[in-house]
Amino acid sequence: MTQNFQTFRFVTLSFVAALFLTTSSVAAQEPEGVDQLEDWQQEELVSLMEETRQTVTEPSSGPAPFELGGFASQLGPDGNAYMAYTLTIDPSKISTPTVAMYFSLLDPATIAALSTAENEDSDEAPELLPVFEDYDFVDVASGGTEPIRISRAFIAPGGEYEAFIAIRDSNGGEEAEDAAVPSASMLLRQPVAVPDFWNGTLQTSTVIIPAVDEISGELQLEQLQVPLTPEQQKLSPYTISNSIRIEPKFDRVFAKEDELFLIYVVYNPGSRDGAMPDLQIEYNFYQQTPDGPEPEEFFNKTQPQEFNAETIGLGFNLSMGHTLPITQQVPLRNFPAGDFRLEIKLIDNAGSTELINDVMFTVEEA
């Protein structure tokens, strides 16, 4: 089965991180910009920060109060990776139309230092220096039945971290009644692995599948003519290189009449002349067969994509920092119902290396 494909060609635009970044101590001072908040916002935020600080050295316990997932990483500024994420919250756990949110990313060394200080019963608590921290007051659709999703992003160097996210109902500046029960916060702690896109090896951003508008049937993907402002980037964190805005599809379930659309960016391909890559990309589909003699069977493949001096337009130059956005679109009408693994195999002819990414998805009967 050979499928047609379309490739966007453009120069990656530099983008401004749209979230608050600080290396100040939570225990010693508040993050940048807190003093510009209203008093009630500062009070709610500080309560979340203090609770996070108190739980940094404690192991996670009990079921997670909400889900942290939907990770999508890409090249970030100044040696960092940029990683979008999504919180999924049971609407029954939110009782106000606005929630206060605090996010803190810590490295293992910081957590170990805090644990050592506690074990030694030190009189002075060490500074808590997050790799990244962010706060926000988010309007949500409380009282419904659909999961509440909050998508944001952070930037950090490649490495292993612990993410701490605290959320609470926000009173929105309203005076609480004397008999009102204080709003309880929800705290999630979860390991997060951040890739290093700056080490010179062949890599790709996370493969993203855009959502499809239920009414128009159009992909929720827009090539931007003007870069997003920091506030727009914050609300659209899955935007690639601040030039393609995407609303992602969070599940991997498709009907047979759907098409599988993929978009990602290739980083650090080899080059013989320093300007053009020589890259071949294969797309091989395997159907999962848990009851068969093998766990999966080869199903089909598309015609390989070729990216070299003959297929890429003039003006592209790796030495100028240009990256290679890739798209692929595959109709699913000939796929039987079942679970599939798409193997995306990048063959770097100039760099004599290969890279494989897997995308799992399910096809259902209409």
List the CATH number of the domain containing 55.
2.60.40.10
pLDDT, tens digit only, all 366 positions of the chain: 333 333 333 332 222 222 222 222 223 345 666 777 888 888 899 899 988 888 887 777 778 899 999 999 999 999 999 999 999 999 999 989 999 999 999 999 888 888 777 666 666 666 778 999 999 999 998 677 889 999 999 999 999 999 999 999 998 776 655 445 456 789 999 999 999 999 999 999 999 999 999 899 899 999 999 999 989 999 999 999 889 999 999 999 999 999 999 999 999 999 999 999 999 999 999 999 988 888 999 999 999 999 999 999 889 999 998 889 999 999 999 999 999 999 999 999 999 999 999 999 999 987
Domain that includes residue 111, residue range: 34-194
**The pTM is what?**
0.86
Same domain, 168 and 208: no
Give me the pLDDT at residue 176, please.
55
307 and 342 assigned to the same domain:
yes
Confidence at residue 37, expressed as pLDDT on a 0 to 100 scale: 84
pLDDT on residue 344: 98
Is 126 inside any structural domain?
yes
Does 52 share its domain with 104? yes
State how beta strands 353-364 and 253-255 pair. parallel
Where b means 16+ CB within 10 Å and e means fewer, 303-337 reads: eebebeeeebeeebebeeebbbbbbbebebeebee
Point out the domain boundary residue: 194, 222, 248.
194
CATH of the domain at 254: 2.60.40.3880
Collapsed DSSP state (helix, strand, coil) of residue 162: strand
> What is d(CA 80, CA 73) in angstroms, rounded to the nearest whole number?
10
Work out how many domains the chain is built from and give that number: 2
Q: Are residues 136 and 243 in the same domain?
A: no
Q: Are 234 and 315 members of one domain?
A: yes
Q: With respect to residue 229, please indicate whether it lies within any of the assigned structural domains.
A: yes
The pLDDT value given to residue 17: 27
Cβ atoms within 10 Å of 46's Cβ, excluding its own: 16
Residue 27 domain flag: no
Q: In terms of domains, do 161 and 252 share one?
A: no
What's the confidence (pLDDT) of residue 110? 85
Q: How many residues does the chain have?
A: 366
With beta carbons less than 8 A apart as the criterion, state whether 197 and 250 touch. Answer: no
Q: Which of 286, 296, 302, 267 is nearest to 342 (CA)?
A: 286
Q: Which pLDDT score, from 0 to 100, does residue 361 have?
A: 98
Residues 119 and 209 in one domain: no
Burial 108-136 (b: 16+ CB within 10 A, else e): eebbebbeeeeeeeeeeeeebbbbbbbbe
* Dihedral angle over CA of 332, 338, 339, 342, nearest 10: -30
Residue 13 inside a domain? The answer is no
CA distance 77 to 157: 10
- Asked if residue 212 lies in contact with residue 246, where contact means CB atoms within 8 angstroms, the answer is no
Cα-Cα end-to-end distance for the chain: 21
